[in-house]
Amino acid sequence: MQKSTVDDIRARFDALVERFSNLETGQPTAIDGGLGLSLIAEAAARTTPDAARILDVGCGAGNFTLRLRQGLPFHHATLVDLSLPMLTRARERITAAGVEVETHQADVREVDFPEASFDIIVAAAVLHHLREEPEWEAMYRNFSRWLRPGGALWVCDLIAHEIPAVEEMQRERYVDYLCSVGGGEYAAGIMAYVEEEDSPRPLTFQLDLMRANGFLRIDVLLKNAAFAAFGGVRG
């Protein structure tokens, strides 16, 4: 089927600012969204305790940067998102936490930064919007290039699975979760836009891309049904 365009995705997220502004739960349609957010924040604080500059790709309303800020004294955050309302809310919240903020309303595939610009990059619920394999390869190359040696990348996202039977099993588990949150109609609506809008890749595929691009130490923090939190330190 024809996937959503960038403009379609931008328009949908423009209307979801409140849903993405809960620092405790994270993204409510994600299994273990709050846990993934917490684990990434703690892992970032332990692996790069001297971090001064972070990049939040697909920042939404700023939850991940705000949670990182609770454990790290960084002074500058660069935020990238398609949605101007999301960026506006994120800037307000993060500036109030005492952080200097730079924003870019853009498709992450179209932004660029100098080499070694950041100590931490976080990408939450954004990479599953990438389409063909070359886009995924280019994105992970950029992440490596934008990080300083010893810097870390942390990802929390929707994932696919390599084995078709496992993909079916995990999809069913995700539908069960959505039904428990909002009922069958809610679950059907979420799965419809996942089918239309998203094109996730397996966790194994993404870990291989990290290794191929100079991330020498990699760990999976969480994997549950259709979601994973993982990251690594650049060599």
Q: pLDDT tens digits, residue range 61-92?
A: 999 999 999 999 999 999 999 999 999 999 99
Question: Which domain, by its residues, includes 148?
Answer: 6-160+200-234
Give residues with Cβ within 8 angstroms of 88, minimum separation 6. Answer: none
For residue 81, give the CATH number of its domain. Answer: 3.40.50.150
pTM score, two decimals? 0.92
Structure tokens at 118: 């950041």
H or E stretch at 181: helix 164-197
Confidence of residue 197 (pLDDT cuts 50, 70, 90): confident
Name the domain count of the chain: 1
Beta bridge partners of 154: 122, 231
Residue 66 lies in a domain: yes
